Amino acid sequence: MLTHRASGVINFAHAALGMYVAYAYYKLRQTGELVLPILGLPDRVKIVDAPTVFTAMSVAVALSAVLGLLVYLLVFRWLRTAPALARVVASLGLLLYFVAIVKLRFDRSAGQLPLGAILPAGSVTVSGVAVPYNRLILAAIALAVATVLAVVFKFTRFGMATRAAAENEKGALIVGHSPDKLAVVNWTVASVLAGVSVIFIASVTKQLDPLSTSLLVVPALAAVLVGGLRSFFVTSFAALTIGMLQAGLLNYSTRSTWIPSWLPRSGLNHALPFLVIVIALTVRGASLPGRHEIRESRLPFSPRPRHVVPVTVVGVGLTAAGLLTLDSQWRLAIVVSLIASLIALSSVVLTGYVGQISLAQYAFAGLAGFVTAKLTEARGIPFPWAPLIAVALTTLCGVLVGLPAARVRGLVLAVVTVGAAVAIENLAFKSEALGGLGRVQIDRPELFGLDLGFSAKGADNFRAEFGIFVLIVVACSFIAIANLRRSPTGLRWLAVRANERAAAACGINVTSMKLEAFAVSSMLAGMGGVLLAYRGSLAPESFAVFGALALLAVTYLGGIASITGALLAGVLFSGGILTHVSGGTTGGTSDTAFAVSGLALVIAAVRTPDGVVGFFRRRGAGAGMRLRARAATGDGDSSAMAGSVEAR
Amino acid sequence: MSNEPLLDVSLLSVTFGGVRAVDDVSFAVGESELVGLIGPNGAGKTTCIDALSGFVPNAAGRVTFEGRDISNWPAHRRARAGIVRTFQSVELFEDLTLNENLVVAATDAKWWSPLADAVWPRRGWSDDIEWALEAVGLQGKGELFPTELAPGSSRLAALARALVRRPRLILLDEPAAGLNTYETEMLADRLRALPPLGVSVLLIDHDTSLVFGTCGTVHVLDFGRVISSGPPAVVRADPAVIEAYLGTVTEP
């Protein structure tokens, strides 16, 4: 929250930074070595032999301060006026990076790290429930910090300046405060708080894990949104309440009997933040932005698809030829890329065309996959119908998740959809009705007596028939989306993305356009999920939030606002064609790759918002520009020329 | 219905918190009429347009259009019914060409249009687009992006986008802001040509000479209230108006 005050960024990587610092702290306590988080520098440096709690803590504080500072100076400083999407993507890149680096540089499990207690043990009994001391102390610390922050921000010159800068940067500048300096201080303080609090949390709960600790950011953001990004007190109370409710639910649901058995017992507490977020936001939001709401700079340019027919014919022909002639590993890579590009296309529609940032698309894919598996397995519904029902259901879910989007936008919507993804993951994937926690095997698809199954014995494994089937589905979807983009429907979507107020003034029902996009996008994601399900077995963790982040990352790298970008994302996706060509195995993903892609994402967000596609387009347009400029000077139409020079 | 005005505003109020930005305002716009709404900065002119076009909720009062009470209609429904507006800050869709901007405004979405468009893309072209571009004098510029237009032209483009659905009433929020004298004169000519085409105009501007030169009836707002109404000659001589404007009305 402090971060947001400082620079208007909702930082998804906040808990991840804390997580890294906590790892460093415990490693330091164990071996006296400080592990450095930067690729290319030596892994670790020896600081002292047997650090005490105090020295280790001071090193950890210094480390988090430095990290916070670096993150601000290198990344978010350049994104202050960038669109919400760029900032979300940059923080996601950081999140990926921190998680990957922890996996790379520390031992695989935190079990080897001694998560020693810092706070005194023992417990006090309150109305029949034993409450450990250390939790009370933690709560007290949290409230105390909130109080201090509230007082500082309310009464000191620094606090007032920060609030002023968050509200009106230019104004603060005129009055003589440097928003830059203020942001530096705030980022540092925020990072230290994140680092220290994760250290304490880990010492109390005895849990430290790169992924789940990083996702602590979801309930935290829920609390922040209840506090309306303004009040420290409301926020910390909300956070404590959510935490207590979660723990209570966990306790209660393992004992009670009234909760229906199809709901996973451990999932409920994870779904809670989502509900809190949705309620808090729907109450606060407005269906059209106000007159004075600041307009962010433009989203990536969305090129109009050209030469659709020839490109499709050549692309489909080449891919089919590849599927029929290359070996089985190639076939697998091509199929993975095709399916990934379909799910990436769902992000292109929703985020690129309509400007709604959603991190739930991957979860929708998973949902469709599991529903298909369940329908064929338990109900005996045959191939073409089970997937169709699953896709329809996913579309409906997408519209439901899209409902809050009618009232909130930008960064806040991203938070809502992360919440939704976590909720789907915990409620649906872990639910017993959908196969519980185990892997799900799915029947072989068959159509008109034709076996479309993927796996087979021996060298014939990963059969080309399935590849062709996937190719047909993917090609049809891409053509359909290209058609939409070129027609009035696509123009209306772009109009909503560009300017909701003006769109409404043109007779566009903005809410129904957004829901339409959520429906189309979830349908695409659902189709991708079904294909993934038929590719092999399904595991819940393959659709975890982390995968969603990785997918949005490659889509952004490819170019979020164009269908070519979706195709590129498919090629880049781990396990896809690029992985195969570069000699990697198509199985697991290496953490180095995640670290690099995280960094690449941050760089892309800062440098080239249009992605790879935009990068090449700009170079091409540059050449075209010069020609046009020459022609325009010939015509003497200098105003148009000046305009177009400015436009690029 | 024959004697009823096209747009009838009675006792309209808009409040922001405790502030009454528009306070018991009543006026009417008849068929094929040019009506002006003027007032000093902060008088509530834009809020008035926001309320009439459905962008801010009205706290009290009634707005009827073609005899129907539209007070609680959302913005897009009002636009489809035939009241369109322009914005003080142009607000063209910058990612779309001028033609595409007009296509968006000219066609209404049906629930099946995504399905139809996915199978067979239409261009969404209609004669109205050509007509609207001609009405503002931008024919032949349709393939340009808004950023490629001169500032004056982009104001006209916004006007074309409002005209393209052939509305009954058009609400113009400071259409002359940023135009030079010559461009303002051209604009005045184009506005005078609208009522004969069946389009009524409510013109808001603090360039009083444009309003007095084009409108048959003028209402003056100050602190959210109508302080004077009538033909330009009468309003111009009203002492209350002169006081509100600190005498600037006497200048040409």
pLDDT digits (tens, 9 = 90+) for A422-468: 777 766 666 555 554 445 556 666 555 556 666 555 555 667 778 88
Does ipTM come in above 0.85?
yes
Q: Distance (Å, rounded) from C-alpha A424 to C-alpha A544?
A: 9
pLDDT at position A136 is: 59
Contact criterion met (CB < 8 Å) for B109 and A487: no
Q: Does A477 touch chain B (CB under 8 A)?
A: no
- Top-confidence range, A22-31, A99-108, A255-264, A292-301: A99-108
Does the structure show a pLDDT above 60 at A520? Answer: yes
Contact criterion met (CB < 8 Å) for A647 and B117: no
Q: Give the residue on B whose Cα is nearest the Cα of A492.
A: B104
Structure-model confidence comparison of residues A322 and A226, the more confident one: A322
Q: Give the residue on A whose Cα is nearest the Cα of B47.
A: A291
Does the structure show a pLDDT above 50 at A315? Answer: yes
Q: Give the residue on B whose Cα is nearest the Cα of A501.
A: B55
Which of A301, A481, A491 minimises the CB distance to B104?
Answer: A491
Chain mean pLDDT for chain B? 85
pLDDT at position A147 is: 62
Give B84's contacts in chain A (Cβ within 8 Å).
505-507
What average pLDDT does range A169-186 have in this prediction? 60
What average pLDDT does range A260-288 have in this prediction? 55
Contact criterion met (CB < 8 Å) for A647 and B119: no
Q: pLDDT of A374-411, one tens digit each?
A: 777 766 677 777 788 888 888 888 888 888 777 766 66
> Checking phi first, is residue B149 left (phi over 0); if not, alpha (psi -120 to 50) or beta?
beta
Q: Distance (Å, rounded) from C-alpha A412 to C-alpha A527?
A: 27
What average pLDDT does range A8-16 have in this prediction? 57
Between A and B, how many CB-CB pairs are < 8 A? 133
CATH architecture of B1-82+167-252: 3-Layer(aba) Sandwich (3.40)
Tell me the nearest-neighbour CA distance from B213 into chain A, angstroms: 27
Alpha helix (H) residue ranges in A304-428: 308-325, 328-347, 361-374, 385-402, 411-424
Containing H/E element for B65? strand B60-65
Give A487's contacts in chain B (Cβ within 8 Å).
117, 121-124
Q: Which residues contact A569 (CB under 8 A, 6 or more apart)?
A: A340, A341, A344, A551, A554, A555, A557, A558
Does the structure show a pLDDT above 80 at A156? Answer: no
Helix axes A611-635, A545-558, angle to 10 degrees: 20
Give B121's contacts in chain A (Cβ within 8 Å).
482-484, 486-487
pLDDT at position A25 is: 64
Q: Does B128 touch chain A (CB under 8 A)?
A: no
DSSP SS3 for B141: coil
* Contacts of the segment A292-296: beta carbons below 8 A, 24+ positions apart: A295/A499, A296/A81, A296/A82, A296/A83, A296/A84, A296/A410
Total length of chain B: 252
Which of A299, A488, A505 minimises the CB distance to B124?
Answer: A488
Residue with tokens 């602590």: A216
Chain A, window 498-527: residues with a beta carbon less than 8 angstroms from a chain B beta carbon: 498-499, 501-510, 512-513, 516, 520
Residue A636 confidence class, pLDDT cut points 50, 70, 90? very low
Which of A488, A502, A513 minimises the CB distance to B103?
Answer: A488
pLDDT at position A449 is: 54
Contact criterion met (CB < 8 Å) for A483 and B119: yes
Structure-model confidence comparison of residues A425 and B228, the more confident one: B228
Residue of A351, A329, A370, A363 whose CA lies nearest to A413: A351
Give B100's contacts in chain A (Cβ within 8 Å).
491
Chain mean pLDDT for chain A? 66
Q: pLDDT of A51-66, one tens digit each?
A: 566 666 677 777 777 7
Structure-model confidence comparison of residues B9 and A99, the more confident one: B9
Structure-model confidence comparison of residues A424 and B80, the more confident one: B80
Q: In sequence order, what DSSP letters do the residues of B221-234 get, joined into one string?
A: EETTEEEEEESHHH
Percentage helix, strand, coil for chain B under 3-state DSSP, each rounded to 5: 40, 25, 40
Structure-model confidence comparison of residues A447 and B70, the more confident one: B70
Does the structure show a pLDDT above 70 at A138? Answer: no
Does the structure show a pLDDT above 90 at A226? Answer: no
Q: Give the residue on B whose Cα is nearest the Cα of A484.
A: B118
Tell me the nearest-neighbour CA distance from A200 into chain B, angstroms: 43
> Which of B46, B102, B108, B117 would you mutate first to test chain A, the one with the most A CBs within 10 A?
B117
Q: Give the residue on A whose Cα is nearest the Cα of B141.
A: A640
In this structure, are residues A190 and A18 in contact, taking their beta carbons and an 8 Å threshold?
no
Which of A494, A516, A639 minimises the CB distance to B96?
Answer: A494
Q: pLDDT of B173-205, one tens digit each?
A: 988 887 888 888 888 988 998 998 889 999 998
pLDDT at position A613 is: 60
What average pLDDT does range A603-608 have in this prediction? 68
Q: Start-end ranges of CATH 3.40.50.300 in chain B? A: 1-82+167-252
Which of B55, B76, B86 minimises the CB distance to A508?
Answer: B76
Candidate from A220-234, A450-464, A560-574, A603-617 with smallest mean pLDDT? A220-234
Burial of B126 (0-12, 13-18, 19+ CB in 10 A): middle
pLDDT at position A639 is: 33
Tell me the nearest-neighbour CA distance from B72 into chain A, angstroms: 14
Tell me the nearest-neighbour CA distance from A606 into chain B, angstroms: 21
Q: Does A640 touch chain B (CB under 8 A)?
A: yes
Q: Give the residue on B whose Cα is nearest the Cα of A477.
A: B118
- Top-confidence range, A247-256, A357-366, B112-121: A357-366
pLDDT at position B219 is: 92
Structure-model confidence comparison of residues A346 and A441, the more confident one: A346
What average pLDDT does range B7-32 have in this prediction? 88
pLDDT at position A76 is: 67
Does the structure show a pLDDT above 60 at A180? Answer: yes
Q: In sequence order, what DSSP letters do the residues of A579-630 get, joined into one string?
A: HHHTT--SSS--HHHHHHHHHHHHHHHHH-TTHHHHHHHHHHHHHHHHHHHH
Q: Does A491 touch chain B (CB under 8 A)?
A: yes
In this structure, are residues A613 and A558 in contact, taking their beta carbons and an 8 Å threshold?
yes
Residue B74 token pair: 């959302």
Cα four-point dihedral sign A335, A337, A340, A345 = negative
Q: Give the residue on A whose Cα is nearest the Cα of B116.
A: A484
The separation between CA A354 and the C-alpha centre of its own chain, rounded to angstroms, equals 17
Structure-model confidence comparison of residues B66 and A112, the more confident one: B66
Does the structure show a pLDDT above 80 at A303? Answer: no
pLDDT at position A643 is: 33
Q: Does B105 touch chain A (CB under 8 A)?
A: yes
In this structure, are residues B162 and B130 in contact, taking their beta carbons and an 8 Å threshold?
no
pLDDT at position A211 is: 63
Residue A293 confidence class, pLDDT cut points 50, 70, 90? very low
Q: Give the residue on A whose Cα is nearest the Cα of B92.
A: A502
pLDDT at position A648 is: 30
Residue A290: other Cβ atoms inside 10 A: 11
Residue B21 confidence class, pLDDT cut points 50, 70, 90? confident
Residue A568 confidence class, pLDDT cut points 50, 70, 90? confident
User: What are the distances in angstroms from CA B36 to CA A24, B56, B211, B231?
Assistant: 69, 21, 6, 10
Which of A301, A512, A640 minimises the CB distance to B95?
Answer: A301
Q: Does A383 touch chain B (CB under 8 A)?
A: no
Candidate from A196-205, A245-254, B29-38, B122-131 with smallest mean pLDDT? A245-254
DSSP β-bridge partners for residue B217: B35
Contact criterion met (CB < 8 Å) for B117 and A640: no
User: What are the distances in angstroms from CA A497 to CA A269, A357, A648, B56, B251?
Assistant: 34, 11, 19, 21, 43
Does the structure show a pLDDT above 80 at A263? Answer: no
What average pLDDT does range B209-235 have in this prediction? 89
The dihedrals phi and psi of B11, each to the nearest 5 degrees, come to 50, 40
Chain B, window 37-76: residues with a beta carbon less than 8 angstroms from a chain A beta carbon: 46, 50, 53-55, 74-76
Q: Does A131 touch chain B (CB under 8 A)?
A: no
Residue of A222, A377, A249, A353 whose CA lies nearest to A299: A353
Contact criterion met (CB < 8 Å) for B96 and A492: no
Residue of B92, B170, B165 whose CA lies nearest to A643: B92
Q: Does B109 touch chain A (CB under 8 A)?
A: yes
Give A488's contacts in chain B (Cβ within 8 Å).
103-104, 107, 109, 113, 117, 122, 124
Q: Does B147 touch chain A (CB under 8 A)?
A: yes
Q: Distance (Å, rounded) from C-alpha A114 to C-alpha A106?
A: 13
Candidate from A5-9, A339-343, B142-146, B164-168 with smallest mean pLDDT? A5-9
Q: Distance (Å, rounded) from C-alpha A279 to C-alpha A289?
A: 19
- Top-confidence range, A89-98, A297-306, A526-535, B152-161: B152-161
8-state DSSP, A450: E
Residue B170 confidence class, pLDDT cut points 50, 70, 90? very high
pLDDT at position A111 is: 46
What proportion of chain B, given as a percentage, has pLDDT over 70?
Answer: 96
Q: Distance (Å, rounded) from C-alpha A360 to C-alpha A421?
A: 5
